[in-house]
Amino acid sequence: MARIKVPRKSTAMDMTAMCDVAFLLLTFFILTAKLRQEDPLHVDVPPSTTVIPLPDDNVATLSVGKGKIFFGIEGTAVREALLDEMGKKYNIPFTAAEKKRFSVIPTFGVPIAQLQQYIALDEEKRKAFPQSGIPVDTTINNELTSWIYEARLVTKSLNNKDLRFAIKGDAREEYPAYKKVVDVLQKQAINKFDLITSLKTK
């Protein structure tokens, strides 16, 4: 009897299709990615069960922690226009280069008098810069109020959308610090805002 020879099959597969898919996905993720940015103020957010995802655009974040308030806004064009308006308001002539540099700073917490000095630093030195937070008091004309007010105007004129506000508070922070920010918002008749929390299971 003749022996039936089983032909040996190669174990190597055709990877072309797999490679195509992998790179397609990779391209998609790279294009949609928004890298996590390091916060200058470390904030430990409290957990909650009822959460909604925060929108990507037209959001200003107010971080509250260690008694300081930091301000951040999305969008490079908005940041540039905002600095321009703030410069006019406080009579600080920001140069075009400074505006450009400012447009890539996601969050900051320095008084406007120190802002030029802060912008001039490079990224590594900015981390070491002692940021004292944005000054806020009970009067109507404090710096935080101006930032919020100008940010709303700029967003409205550039994107024709209402600016949303998100408060990122530290869990251990005492309530009055948070209340201070809410009071500033409420003075401008902003009664709806988001509290950034982490997800907790019931």
Partner 1 sequence: MAELDTSGGGKKGGKIRSKKASTRIDLTAMVDLAFLLITFFIMTTTLAKPKAMDMFMPDKSKPEVQLPVPETRTMTLWLGSNSKIEWFVGKPGGSRPTIDNFGKDGIRKTLVEQNKKIEETHQGPDNFMIVLVKPSDKSTYKDFVNIIDEINIAGIKSYGVVDITPGEVAQLKKDGNY
Q: Which residues form the interface with partner 1 (CB under 8 A)?
A: 10, 12, 14-16, 18-19, 22-23, 25-26, 29-30, 32-36, 46, 48-54, 64, 166-179, 182, 186, 189, 191-200, 202
User: 20 by DSSP, 3-state: which?
Assistant: helix
* Cβ at position 72, least distance to partner 1 in Å: 11
Choose between 84 and 194: whose C-beta lies nearer to partner 1.
194
Minimal CA–CA distance to 69: which of 149, 22, 137, 122?
137
Q: Please, which residue, 121 or 171, has the CB nearer to partner 1?
A: 171
User: Do 166 and 43 contact (CB within 8 A), yes or no?
Assistant: no
Instruction: In angstroms, give the least distance from the CB of 101 to partner 1.
Output: 24
For partner 1, give the closer residue by CB, 5 or 192: 192
Minimum distance from residue 122 beta carbon to partner 1 (Å) = 24
| Residue placing its CB nearer to partner 1 in the complex, 100 or 180 | 180
Least separation in angstroms between residue 112's CB and partner 1 is 26
- Closest to partner 1 by CB, 64 vs 78, is 64
Q: Which of 86, 54, 97 is nearest to 152 (CA)?
A: 86
Q: Which residue has the tokens 């030195």?
A: 125
| Minimum distance from residue 1 beta carbon to partner 1 (Å) | 34
Total Cβ atoms within 10 A of residue 70: 22
Quote the CA–CA distance of 201 and 47 in Å, as a whole number. 9
Cα 129 → chain centroid: 19
**Closest approach of partner 1 to the CB of residue 71, in Å:** 16
Considering only CA atoms, which of 128, 141, 180, 178 is closest in space to residue 197? 178
CA distances from residue 43 to 37, 145, 183 in whole angstroms, order as listed: 13, 22, 21
Strand partners, 168: 63
Q: Which is nearer to partner 1, 32 or 139 (CB)?
A: 32
